[in-house]
Amino acid sequence: MTTQLFARHALLPTGWAPNVLVQWDKAGLIHQVQTHVAQPPGQSSATELLVPGMPNLHSHAFQRASAGLTEYRYAEQDSFWSWRNLMYSFAAHITPEQLEAIATWLYAEMLEAGYTSVCEFHYVHHQPDGQPYADSATLSQCLLNAAKRTGIGMTLLPVLYQTGGFGALPPGDGQKRFIHTTDAMLKLLDKLLPQCQAQNAKLGIAPHSLRAVPPESLNAIIEGMNQLDATAPIHIHIAEQTKEVDDCVAWCGQRPVEWLMDHMAVDARWCLVHATHMNASEYQQAASSGAIAGLCPTTEANLGDGIFDLPQWLQHQGRWGIGSDSHVTVNAAAELLALEYSQRLQRRQRNVAASTATPSVAQNTYLQAVQGGTQASARPIAGIAVGQNADLVELDCQHRALAQLTPDQALSGHVFGSSRTSAIRRVWTQGILRVDQKHLLHQPAQKEFIQARTQLLRHIHD
């Protein structure tokens, strides 16, 4: 069975094309993309502006429940580290039912916001007292259930977390739900692999950070993952905070990215999440490795992390993608806007993420983020092209920021001019309609989320 969609204008990997017919099979894989089609074929759905779905390469789903609730001064000088203590209080109390409700709403929000897949960096594994659930995959399954229910594509990244800091410091009380031995994590991965395959999800591994995973465990978990699936993506938080860099230097005499490049076989399977604080040599080495820089501009701004040097990364042909991380913002266009604006503030220039060859900031960043997010996700989601999933986003050409504009102007309006309103009309994943103005589960998912958050806050404050 073939399904098709006709677009007056579609953003292909090579740029905008007119009168595009996209056809996909019953599995949701695109098998034909025709351009300059004279007229819409009979029985085909039609749209004006079609762009590829955006991969979200970094998510902590449970943190959506605390978004907006940590914007109060709790210390003489608030920082990432004081915020982390507040975040741990949410992690300490969340139940499986609450996690599934929060994730279901978040994934529906993501789809409404133009994300069609997510890399879930999942580190809350155990019961509140730190003891494993009878089924070690309980909380992982909640996330898989949420993805299946909403239709978002999933790359599940169970997190290995073992220590409280560089030099194998013991974990703190707030981290007890995260902790796994390497063997226990490998058993969990072995259990999750067939579950992920059954719903067309990709399983990877996420060593949390160099401060949370000692070198011997880092080597062992990657070797074990390779035996399960040698194509599995590897994601790691790195160099997010200057304190992390200073602590790493004190531990081993090297900066985090420098150490990683010298001691691990970093390649295109790796996603270096944040990588905010690198020197010139680290930018060159990391970009040359083929790894993806996982950028989360609105979270990095919210936490006061710092600013990634995008021009220096691109100078070395580095690839990158975007994620919503702690979900203070769930909007793919807003992440691209925040990324570009951070570069402008840092350099006191305009249109930084463009070039003479590719002058449109919106088109350039959108296509680069799709490609980088695809690599980090390790799924066939690289845009409107043969062999890729039919993950498609229809822009609303009647929206005030897009109306009567050319396709490229409309994309710029979507990224830079929609002013926190939605310029998205419909969204498909694997060829199935998930959003028509709103997600088809919008009302029940929203209600369940509010109930879960209310229960969670009550427990935290008791």
CATH number at residue 243: 3.20.20.140
Average pLDDT over residues 19-42: 93
Active site residues: 274, 325
CA–CA gap between residue 62 and residue 50 (Å, rounded):
31
Res 375: pLDDT: 98
- Kindly state whether residues 429 and 328 are assigned to the same domain: no
Question: Cβ distance 292 to 320 under 8 Å?
Answer: yes
- Kindly state whether residues 11 and 139 are assigned to the same domain: no
Relative orientation angle of helices 215-228 and 182-198, to the nearest 10 degrees: 30
Does residue 453 fall inside a structural domain?
A: no
- Pairing assessment for the beta strands 292-295 and 270-274 based on DSSP bridges: parallel
- Kindly state whether residues 144 and 248 are assigned to the same domain: yes
Give the residue from 327, 343, 377 where a domain finishes. 377
Res 419: pLDDT: 87
C-alpha angle 178/182/184, rounded to 5°?
Answer: 70
The total number of residues written for the chain in this structure: 462
Residue 53 neighbours by CB under 8 Å, 6+ apart: 114, 115, 116, 117, 370, 381, 391, 392, 393, 427, 428, 429
Res 449: pLDDT: 97
What's the Cα-to-Cα distance from 384 to each of 13, 36, 60, 359, 447, rounded to whole Å?
7, 15, 28, 21, 34
Token pair belonging to 185: 């994590």
**Which has the closest alpha carbon to 156: 133, 175, 137, 182?**
137
- Kindly state whether residues 191 and 245 are assigned to the same domain: yes
Question: What rounded mean pLDDT belongs to the chain?
Answer: 96
CA–CA gap between residue 403 and residue 447 (Å, rounded):
33
Give the residue from 353, 377, 401 where a domain finishes. 377
Average pLDDT over residues 360-388: 98
Domain count, the chain: 2
Give the residue from 344, 377, 410 where a domain finishes. 377
Does residue 449 fall inside a structural domain?
A: no
- In the chain, the amino acid numbered 123 is Y
Average pLDDT over residues 363-384: 98
Does residue 43 fall inside a structural domain?
A: yes
CA–CA gap between residue 298 and residue 303 (Å, rounded):
9
- The answer to whether residue 1 scores a pLDDT higher than 70 is no
Question: Cβ distance 337 to 415 under 8 Å?
Answer: yes
Does residue 186 fall inside a structural domain?
A: yes
- The answer to whether residue 77 scores a pLDDT higher than 80 is no
Domain of residue 436, CATH code? 2.30.40.10
Does residue 455 fall inside a structural domain?
A: no
**Which has the closest alpha carbon to 115: 333, 273, 386?**
333
Q: How would residue 117 be classed by pLDDT, with cut points 50, 70 and 90? A: very high
- Kindly state whether residues 204 and 332 are assigned to the same domain: yes
Looking at the DSSP bridge assignments, the partners of residue 4 are 23
- The answer to whether residue 209 scores a pLDDT higher than 70 is yes
CB half-sphere exposure, 248, CA atoms < 13 A: 24
Cα R_g (the chain), whole angstroms: 21
- Kindly state whether residues 66 and 209 are assigned to the same domain: yes
Question: Cβ distance 257 to 248 under 8 Å?
Answer: no
- The answer to whether residue 456 scores a pLDDT higher than 70 is yes
- Kindly state whether residues 165 and 235 are assigned to the same domain: yes
Average pLDDT over residues 12-36: 97
- The answer to whether residue 122 scores a pLDDT higher than 70 is yes
Percentage of the chain exceeding pLDDT 90: 90
CA–CA gap between residue 392 and residue 409 (Å, rounded):
19
- Kindly state whether residues 212 and 315 are assigned to the same domain: yes
Does residue 447 fall inside a structural domain?
A: no
Q: Which domain holds residue 313?
A: 54-377
Res 232: pLDDT: 98
Average pLDDT over residues 436-454: 97
- Kindly state whether residues 42 and 71 are assigned to the same domain: no
Does residue 454 fall inside a structural domain?
A: no
- Kindly state whether residues 43 and 64 are assigned to the same domain: no
The Cβ of residue 391 has, within 10 Å, a number of other Cβ atoms equal to: 31
Q: How would residue 89 be classed by pLDDT, with cut points 50, 70 and 90? A: confident
Res 43: pLDDT: 67
- Kindly state whether residues 163 and 65 are assigned to the same domain: yes
- The answer to whether residue 40 scores a pLDDT higher than 90 is no
- Pairing assessment for the beta strands 54-59 and 115-122 based on DSSP bridges: parallel
Does residue 448 fall inside a structural domain?
A: no
Average pLDDT over residues 165-192: 96
Structure pTM? 0.97
Q: How would residue 440 be classed by pLDDT, with cut points 50, 70 and 90? A: very high
- The answer to whether residue 462 scores a pLDDT higher than 70 is no
- Kindly state whether residues 14 and 124 are assigned to the same domain: no
Token pair belonging to 364: 């350039």
